């Protein structure tokens, strides 16, 4: 059935509204006059006039209030809802149809607004498709570059002129993570001492373009030494000033310790051998070796010298494997390399495919050369047939490399002669014997149970490969727009699009921190320039030191067993504070979450005095205070879908709040809230809805 009101135009509806108001006023006046005249004989002219005025006045007042309520609900609020919906579709990218019930009394305005919104969505979609077609190739190249840089074994960072991190890969995050992990738009000098960085920048400023310089950097907190190489970023930039730089890092503390140990051992060798040798020389020079006392002294010094040489030799052999560069190698890769070398030498070698998960720690190049060398020598013997190679786990938990053949057992003298021959690895003094010594192993021939012969080389190694790096460790995180962002001054003057924000949420045992309720989980993520930074997140369970009510567990799914062994709030609060340092905190109903955190400031030794934005108040600014501003209502209004299983979880609500903030920022800027100060002034006008969570006026950035 067609609504008869919908047939009327907006002007006619407004005319009928005011016509009804005029008719009502005339009716009230007529009714008042009639009532006054009817009481003229009883109360006299004055009483009749007062009665008529009171009746007419209250009638007109009630009629006006009723008309105002109708006008406010169906015109003013409807116009506000329509404007907010249009603004959301214009600035937040929504493409849903407008709700016709929101403006059903505004005549043709709602269909016209829907037509504009539809045309805008079609134009935006067409433009997006064109841009997507043009940028597909660039996106593929960017993904390839990101994957390449993520797997570079060295730590790679790109920093702006003021040492703010613009790009980092997984190895760099692993090297720099101490009390807190590195992040975009954070100072590299929070992790590395600034002196070497500034000195390297000064050297490059005086050098020819394209020059790189080496430096030794020291971690500010742990004191670990890192070897680095810096090169200025000589690329076009939109902002004038000093260029940024690329920094590669690798750890050297372990290498320095190994070299120091080797040097200490060599010094001890010379010291402990020098004195017995000098004593022997003295005894021999004095001619006292013929006397019984001289022979005894000579024998004693010789025994001391032999014992020292034996002990030092054993220590050298034990430590030699640590000094030599070793890497974890798949047994399958090693077997393939040996087969390739044997094939190049014309040796027919059958290879048994090793377990794909079997790995060993070795110098793969030297082992390939040694095995191929032995296979070549065995193939040249007329009594060695059906040569085969196998790599398999042994009983000691390592890997056993075997060369098997049909024929007689290899004589030990031949094996020793082959091991003494130099290998073709680029160094004349690298022999099979030195390769075995570097790996702390031996080789021997033996008879097989089936009648054949084999050559065994046990290799101490893990029986299985170490697990692969998780995807999180392989990430490459970047925002190249940070290179061209001008330094911010006062926080109040910083644009919303330039803010670094940490969006967070907590799950608790209840709603009353003053009554003993505590946090059981905190989750957070970082946003820069209104966009989420993938890979920079924080999530931790918290031991509340009290039971979790069943009603609370039904909401967020966290039980007492899940938080058993979790860190206390003091520890988690310090870690979260380090993650959020220098950022604007953002939460939905921020006073609730911050009250739980601020109760533990004294015990944790940190203060949560960050500037704060609350998406409840931002929603009120964008859509009007009369709307519903729950997280569910806000995300529904902005076209954001929250999976049911993620709702009322700390990270799920954090992601939803971050998505809402991302779409709210352009709406706020369209309403004149361009800077943080302007936004703060706007949200404080809605203090009746929710108090402002900022501890004080925003401090300078």
| Chain segment 495-548, per-residue pLDDT in tens | 888 899 999 999 999 988 888 899 999 999 999 988 898 888 999 999 999 999
For 112-131, b where at least 16 C-beta lie within 10 A, e where not — what string?
Answer: ebbeebeeebeeeeeeeeee
Coil, strand or helix at 88: helix
Those residues whose C-beta lies under 8 Å from the C-beta of residue 697, and which sit 6 or more positions away, are: none
Coil, strand or helix at 231: strand
pLDDT given at position 542: 96
pLDDT given at position 470: 40
Dist. CA 700–CA 305, nearest whole Å:
72
From 31, 33, 61, 55, select the one nearest 45 (Cα to Cα). 33
From 472, 491, 502, select the one nearest 579 (Cα to Cα). 502
The percent of residues in the chain predicted with pLDDT above 90, rounded, is 24
Those residues whose C-beta lies under 8 Å from the C-beta of residue 187, and which sit 6 or more positions away, are: 162, 163, 164, 165
Those residues whose C-beta lies under 8 Å from the C-beta of residue 204, and which sit 6 or more positions away, are: 211, 212, 213, 230, 231, 232, 245
For the domain covering 327-459, report its CATH number: 3.30.565.10
**How far, in Å, are 88, 109, 118, 265 from residue 95 at the CA level?**
9, 18, 7, 73
Q: Is 163 a catalytic residue?
A: no
- Start-end of H helices in 238-347: 253-285, 292-323, 331-344
Which of 191, 610, 648, 686 is the catalytic position? 648
Dist. CA 181–CA 578, nearest whole Å:
9
Coil, strand or helix at 423: coil
Mean pLDDT of 579-601: 93
Query: Which residue has better confidence, 427 or 50?
Result: 50
Which two tokens mark 185?
């738009």
For 99-185, where are the E strands, in sequence order? 155-159, 165-169
Which two tokens mark 662?
């991302």
pLDDT given at position 471: 39
Mean pLDDT of 36-53: 68
For 294-316, the pLDDT digits (tens) are: 566 666 666 666 666 666 665 65
Q: Which long-range contacts (CB under 8 A, 24 or more apart) does 677-680 make?
A: 677/490, 677/491, 677/492, 677/493, 679/496, 679/613, 679/618, 679/621, 680/492
pLDDT given at position 658: 94
Q: Which of 9-23, 130-144, 561-575 has the least mean pLDDT?
A: 130-144
Strand pairing report for 350-351 and 359-362: unpaired
The mean of the pLDDT values for the chain is 78
For 103-135, the pLDDT digits (tens) are: 666 655 666 666 666 676 667 667 767 766 666
pLDDT higher than 80, residue 234:
no
Query: Which residue has better confidence, 536 or 259?
Result: 536
Q: Which of 11-15, 151-155, 573-577, 640-644 has the least mean pLDDT?
A: 11-15
For 481-501, the pLDDT digits (tens) are: 776 666 566 888 888 888 999
Those residues whose C-beta lies under 8 Å from the C-beta of residue 685, and which sit 6 or more positions away, are: none
From 548, 600, 593, select the one nearest 570 (Cα to Cα). 600
For 452-492, the pLDDT digits (tens) are: 899 999 987 554 444 443 434 456 777 777 766 665 668 88
Dist. CA 28–CA 62, nearest whole Å:
10
For 611-622, the pLDDT digits (tens) are: 999 999 999 888
Helix count (H) and strand count (E) of the chain?
Answer: 21, 18
Model confidence at 697, pLDDT cuts 50, 70, 90, reads: very low
Domain 488-686 in CATH: superfamily? Ribonuclease H-like superfamily/Ribonuclease H (3.30.420.10)
| 8 A C-beta contact, residue 175 and residue 155 | yes
pLDDT higher than 90, residue 80:
no
From 525, 529, 537, 524, select the one nearest 480 (Cα to Cα). 529
Helix, strand, coil percent content, the chain, rounded in steps of 5:
55, 15, 30
Query: Which residue has better confidence, 696 or 685?
Result: 685
Number of residues written out for the chain: 701
Query: Which residue has better confidence, 606 or 29?
Result: 606
pLDDT given at position 575: 93
Mean pLDDT of 137-153: 66
pLDDT given at position 454: 93
**How far, in Å, are 299, 300, 695 from residue 288 at the CA level?**
12, 14, 91
pLDDT higher than 60, residue 210:
yes
Q: Does domain 151-251 have CATH number 3.30.450.20?
A: yes
Whole-prediction pTM value?
Answer: 0.60
pLDDT given at position 2: 47
**How far, in Å, are 74, 86, 265, 299, 307 from residue 277 at the CA level?**
109, 96, 18, 12, 13
Model confidence at 68, pLDDT cuts 50, 70, 90, reads: confident
Q: How many other β-carbons are positioned within 10 Å of the β-carbon of residue 664?
A: 27
Q: Which of 20-29, 73-82, 150-159, 381-390 has the least mean pLDDT?
A: 73-82
- Start-end of H helices in 324-431: 331-344, 364-379, 412-420
For 392-413, the pLDDT digits (tens) are: 988 877 889 999 999 889 999 9
């Amino acid at each position: 059935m067609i609504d008869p009101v919908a047939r009327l135009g907006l002007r006619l509806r407004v005319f009928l509204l005011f016509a009804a108001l005029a008719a009502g006023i005339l009716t009230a006046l007529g009714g008042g006059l009639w009532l006054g005249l009817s009481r003229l004989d009883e109360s006299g002219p004055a009483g009749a006039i007062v009665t008529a005025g009171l009746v007419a006045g209250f009638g007109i007042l009630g009629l006006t209030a009723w008309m105002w309520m109708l006008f406010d609900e169906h015109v003013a609020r409807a116009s506000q809802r329509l404007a907010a919906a249009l603004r959301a579709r214009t600035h937040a990218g929504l493409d849903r149809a407008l709700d016709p019930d929101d403006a059903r009394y505004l005549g043709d305005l709602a269909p016209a607004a829907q037509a504009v919104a539809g045309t805008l969505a079609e134009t935006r979609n067409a433009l997006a498709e064109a841009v997507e077609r043009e940028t597909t190739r660039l996106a593929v190249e960017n993904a390839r570059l990101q994957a390449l840089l993520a797997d570079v074994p060295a730590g790679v960072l790109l920093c702006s002129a003021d040492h703010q991190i613009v790009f980092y890969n997984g190895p760099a995050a692993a090297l720099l993570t101490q009390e807190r992990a590195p992040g975009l738009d954070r100072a590299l000098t929070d992790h590395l001492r600034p002196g070497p960085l500034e000195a390297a920048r000064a050297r490059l400023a005086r050098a020819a373009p394209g020059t790189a310089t080496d430096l030794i950097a020291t971690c500010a907190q742990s004191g670990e030494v890192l070897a680095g190489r810096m090169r200025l970023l000589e690329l076009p930039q939109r902002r004038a000033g000093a260029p940024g730089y690329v920094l590669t890092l690798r750890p050297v503390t372990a290498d320095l310790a190994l070299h120091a140990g080797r040097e200490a051992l060599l010094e001890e060798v010379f010291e402990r051998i020098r004195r017995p040798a000098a004593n022997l020389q003295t005894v021999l020079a004095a001619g006292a070796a013929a006397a019984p006392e001289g022979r005894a002294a000579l024998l004693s010094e010789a025994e001391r010298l032999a014992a020292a040489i034996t002990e030092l030799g054993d220590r050298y052999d034990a430590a030699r494997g640590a000094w030599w560069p070793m890497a974890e190698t798949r047994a399958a890769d090693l077997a393939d390399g040996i087969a390739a070398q044997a094939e190049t030498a014309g040796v027919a070698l059958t290879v048994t495919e090793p377990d794909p998960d079997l790995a060993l720690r070795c110098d793969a190049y030297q082992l390939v050369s040694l095995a191929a060398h032995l296979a070549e020598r065995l193939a040249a013997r007329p009594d060695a047939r059906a040569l085969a190679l196998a790599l398999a786990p042994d009983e000691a938990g390592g890997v056993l490399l075997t060369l098997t053949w049909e024929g007689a057992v290899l004589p030990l003298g031949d094996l020793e002669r082959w091991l003494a021959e130099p290998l073709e690895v680029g160094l004349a003094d690298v022999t099979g014997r030195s390769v075995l010594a570097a790996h702390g192993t031996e080789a021997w021939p033996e008879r097989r149970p089936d009648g054949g012969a084999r050559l065994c080389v046990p290799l101490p190694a893990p029986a299985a490969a170490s697990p692969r790096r998780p995807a999180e460790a392989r990430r490459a995180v970047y925002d190249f727009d940070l290179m061209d962002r001008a330094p911010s001054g006062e926080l109040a003057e910083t644009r919303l699009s330039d803010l670094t924000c940490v969006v967070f949420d907590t799950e608790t045992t209840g709603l009353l921190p003053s009554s003993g309720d505590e946090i059981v989980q905190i989750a957070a993520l970082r946003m820069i320039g209104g966009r989420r930074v993938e890979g920079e997140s924080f999530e931790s369970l918290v031991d509340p030191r009290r039971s979790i009510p069943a009603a609370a567990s039904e909401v967020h799914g966290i039980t007492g067993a899940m938080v058993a062994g979790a860190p206390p709030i003091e520890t988690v609060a310090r870690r979260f504070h380090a993650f959020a340092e220098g950022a604007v905190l953002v939460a939905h109903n921020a006073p609730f979450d911050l009250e739980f955190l601020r109760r533990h400031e004294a015990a944790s030794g940190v203060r949560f005095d960050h500037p704060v934005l609350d998406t409840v108040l931002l929603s009120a600014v964008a859509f009007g205070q009369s709307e519903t501003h729950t997280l569910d209502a806000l995300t529904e209004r902005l076209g954001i879908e929250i999976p049911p299983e993620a709702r009322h979880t700390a990270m799920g609500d954090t992601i939803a709040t971050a998505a809402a903030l991302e779409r709210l920022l352009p709406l706020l800027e369209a309403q004149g809230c361009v800077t943080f100060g302007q936004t703060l002034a706007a949200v404080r006008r809605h203090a009746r809805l929710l108090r402002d969570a900022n501890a004080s006026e925003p401090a300078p950035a």
